[in-house]
Amino acid sequence: MWLKLGKTAASIKLIQILSAKNDFISTEELADILGINKRNIREYIAEIEEAGYFVESKRGLTGGYRMLNHSTLPQAKLTDDERIALEESYDFLKENEYPLIDDFVSATNKFLVSKSYKDDLTPEVVIEKFPLAIDKKELMDRYQTIANSIEDQYKCELHYKSAQNTIKRHIIHPYKLFNYNGGWFVLAYDEDKNDFAYYKLNRIESIYKKKNHFTKMDFNESDYLDEFGMKNNGEFYHIELEFKDLNVYIQERIYGKNQIIDVIDDNHLKMSCDMQNKDMILSFVLSFGNKCKVLSPDWLKEDVTNEILKMMDNYD
């Protein structure tokens, strides 16, 4: 629970945050640190600009706000020993697989409010093994159109290509942009479906921000998204698999809900979990080739067998 700051205290805190960073910081991150609604950020930006602090704004994936003239207000300083203690704490917790490591990093970064410290604590490189076959500027334009529509509560008209390669027009009320398995999606209310749906940005053929507003419904994000991705992306199924020669690899990751791993010997283990969407489960199993054996359910055994037979037909 956040302690609500007064307007003066929040404005000072905002100056400290922006002064400590050289890059843009998003509206969502500012609102999270200050404990206020993101719609109020502009009001506080105007407040500090009136006091003589000039703030640059930028829209899009890498957008947000940054200070043009840095503050001379005092910042919280750490001694060398205090900084070393924080860094070593992070290393210790990570090595010991502390389950709340992400929350530790988030809380530490909010306290430090400094990009240099944040980079030290969370060095990260993202390598796309299979980049999307779409121009990045075009993807950014779609993202920005949707982001603007979410912020201003405007409807969008989009022409969307389905997995069956058919294009259909949709009028949507966009609520949330999110990244899943390396791809950008928007969670939106679809007027034709009279329900919420997910749309992948790289499958959008064209998109327009309409001139009419939509009224937000009572919306609980956790009904549609969780730590495993899109909750309404197909039914969950309990599966049991046996792996060989992959003990270390399989134990490194969580592949589904309620995951349980039983080590049989140095070369074999059994994994059970709940996974979503039959097609995705089939692809997952086949990706391990002969190192994965389906124990249950029976429909998955049958699907894998049939798929292998189809693959063999390709080489007759």
Distance CA 83, CA 196 (A): 46
The residue ranking higher by pLDDT, 214 or 137, is: 214
303 with 261, same domain: the answer is yes
Judgement on whether residues 292 and 262 belong to the same structural domain of the protein: yes
**Count of domains observed in the chain:** 4
50, pLDDT greater than 60: yes
Question: Is residue 214, in this structure, part of any structural domain at all?
Answer: yes
Same domain, 226 and 240: no
Q: Is the pLDDT of residue 4 over 80?
A: no
Domain, as residue range, for 40 = 7-67
**In this structure, is residue 131 part of a structural domain?**
no
Residue 274 falls within a domain, yes or no? yes
Assess whether 274 and 307 both reside in one domain.
yes
Which pLDDT value is given to residue 174?
Answer: 93
Q: Is residue 247 part of a domain?
A: yes
Instruction: Give the residue-averaged pLDDT of 86-102.
Output: 70
- For the cut 70, the answer to whether the pLDDT of residue 116 exceeds it is no
How many Cα neighbours within 13 Å face the side chain of 175? 19
* CATH number of the domain within which 282 lies: 3.30.70
Taking 90 as the threshold, does the pLDDT of residue 239 lie above it? yes
The CATH number linked to 60 is 1.10.10.10
What is the model's pLDDT at position 119?
42
Residue 30 lies in a domain: yes
Does 37 map to a domain?
yes
**For residue 131, what pLDDT is reported?**
60
Residue 1 lies in a domain: no
- The pLDDT-based confidence of 111 (bands split at 50, 70, 90) is low
Residue 44, domain member (yes or no)? yes
277 falls in which pLDDT band (50, 70, 90)?
confident
Query: What distance in Å separates the CA atoms of residue 50 and residue 43, rounded to the nearest whole number?
Result: 11
Q: Do both 151 and 206 map to the same domain?
A: yes
160 and 203, same domain (yes or no): yes
Q: Are residue 143 and residue 177 in the same domain, yes or no?
A: yes
Average pLDDT over residues 4-33: 79
pTM of the model: 0.48
Average pLDDT, the chain: 80
Task: Give φ, ψ of 226 to 5 degrees.
Answer: -145, -170
| Phi, psi angle pair for 5, to nearest 5° | -85, 150
Same-domain status, 155 and 221: yes
Asked whether residue 54 falls in the same domain as residue 33, the answer is yes
At 149-186, the pLDDT tens digits run 998 899 999 999 987 788 999 999 999 888 776 678 89
Peptide bond into 297 cis (omega under 30): yes
Q: Is the pLDDT at 265 greater than 70, yes or no?
A: yes
Q: Which one has a higher pLDDT value, 250 or 97?
A: 250
Residue 233's nearest CA partner among 272, 175, 179, 275 is 275
The span from the CA of 259 to the CA of 278, in Å, is: 17
pLDDT mean over 78-82: 66
pLDDT computed for residue 214 by the predictor:
92
**Domain identity same for 140 and 226:** yes
Banded pLDDT at 109 (limits 50, 70, 90): low
Position 5 scores a pLDDT of 58
Q: 114 with 193, same domain?
A: no
Query: Looking at residues 213-225, what average pLDDT do you find?
Result: 83
Q: Does residue 223 share a domain with residue 144?
A: yes
pLDDT(85) > 90: no
Per-residue pLDDT tens over the stretch 187-207: 999 999 999 989 989 899 999
